Amino acid sequence: HVKKTEERPPSTSGPQTSLSASIRFLEDNMHLNDALQELLSDSNTSYHVIGAIGPQGAGKSTFLSMLSGNDPMDLYRQYVFRPCSREAVESCRYQTLKIYIYINKTRTILLDCQGMSSASILDDLIRANRRQQIGSFKADEQFDTECLRLLLFMFEICHTLVLNVDWFIDMSVIRELMSAQLISSALTRNDRKVNLVVVHQRAKSMDFHPVTVKRRAQCLKGMFEHSKFNICGGLSMGGIGFKKYGNIEPDVNYILLSEIKPRIRGETVPQNIGQELQPMEYIEYGTVMNVLRTQILRLPKPLFASSNSLLTEREWFQMASLFWAKLENDAMIRSSKKLWNVYSDKDEIRVAKRT
């Protein structure tokens, strides 16, 4: 049961098998899911690839589900991208591992990436290495490399990246993004800019205050200027039509989403409620989401780096495969580990000296 968004008629030929839920794009064994090709058209070039990144538990999967057509009133099990299970939440664990994909009827390709630098995934890796008697001292380096590869991969294969955050804003996340884009620039040596949209999930009423929004938008602009990211795409609260924010940094892609309210089966939110709330610093989740679904597709679609023309869906997949293989082999990634583990070697020396 997937509800369809109504932007444009599907302009595709070829395979039209539609997915009922997201499937693996990148498998646990770090291979791309080749079966996916069956679902991709070899003529359609007017698709939009949107990827969600962000820390664990920031709401990436939920956001993508909503974007691909789910309704906040849907049951969790109806979500296209599986949201964090109760058990995972309660044990502070991740839900999504590697990358999941879903393609909706309007040929929006949605990619759900695992949480950035998730402590829980690293923990698993450390434990697994320990179990397998692999020198556990390698685990954090291995993990950093893997996180980096996933990010670099997302940078290259998406038109638009949605950075999901649940508070404003963790500099660790920003720094990780910026370091990765730096390596990406060194690796790909092109001027491709990927759209970056910062979506602030579970925003509180204080977060909605125009003055706060303005200051944050300015910060975001300052952080991502001169980077691989194009943060100025006009996808702002003002830009998508919320008059209160009309003149507040309207070009900065910064969207606020409040907490999804608990479901009330069989009931809809009375219309008058929204109107009553108008003067307050608060906007319903669904209200923003409804506009965002269409507006996000209006962001410019940067050409993929490997070609000068539009790629068909299948060509896109092939491009992604090639790039992933390149990331697997590239020495740049391996050497960039140094960025995160400067002292791993020096430590040992010092220790020896001291003792």
Q: Applying CB under 8 A, does 84 fall inside the site for other proteins?
A: yes
Member of 168, 190, 294, 318 binding other proteins (CB under 8 A)? 168
Cβ within 8 Å of residue 104, ≥6 positions away: 2, 4, 5, 18, 68, 69, 80, 110
Member of 31, 215, 298, 326 binding other proteins (CB under 8 A)? 215
Member of 48, 93, 149, 228 binding other proteins (CB under 8 A)? 93
Nearer to other proteins, 13 or 167 (CB): 167
# residues near other proteins by CB under 8 A: 82
Q: Applying CB under 8 A, does 212 fall inside the site for other proteins?
A: yes
Stretch that binds other proteins, among 21-29, 151-159, 236-244, 269-277 (CB under 8 A): 269-277
Do 78 and 1 touch, CB atoms closer than 8 A?
yes
- The span from the CA of 11 to the CA of 294, in Å, is 16
Structural tokens at position 284 = 């319903």
Q: Applying CB under 8 A, does 206 fall inside the site for other proteins?
A: yes
Do 199 and 312 touch, CB atoms closer than 8 A?
no
Instruction: Tell me the C-alpha to C-alpha distance, in Å, between residue 17 and each of 1, 8, 40, 46, 102.
Output: 15, 18, 9, 17, 12
What x/- string results for residues 278 through 297 when contact with other proteins is judged by CB under 8 A?
--xxx---------------
Member of 30, 92, 128, 322 binding other proteins (CB under 8 A)? 92
Q: Applying CB under 8 A, does 355 fall inside the site for other proteins?
A: yes
Q: Applying CB under 8 A, does 262 fall inside the site for other proteins?
A: yes
Q: Look up tokens 């450390």; give the residue.
A: 126
Q: Applying CB under 8 A, does 268 fall inside the site for other proteins?
A: no
Query: Residue 151 carries which side chain, given as an amino acid letter?
Result: L
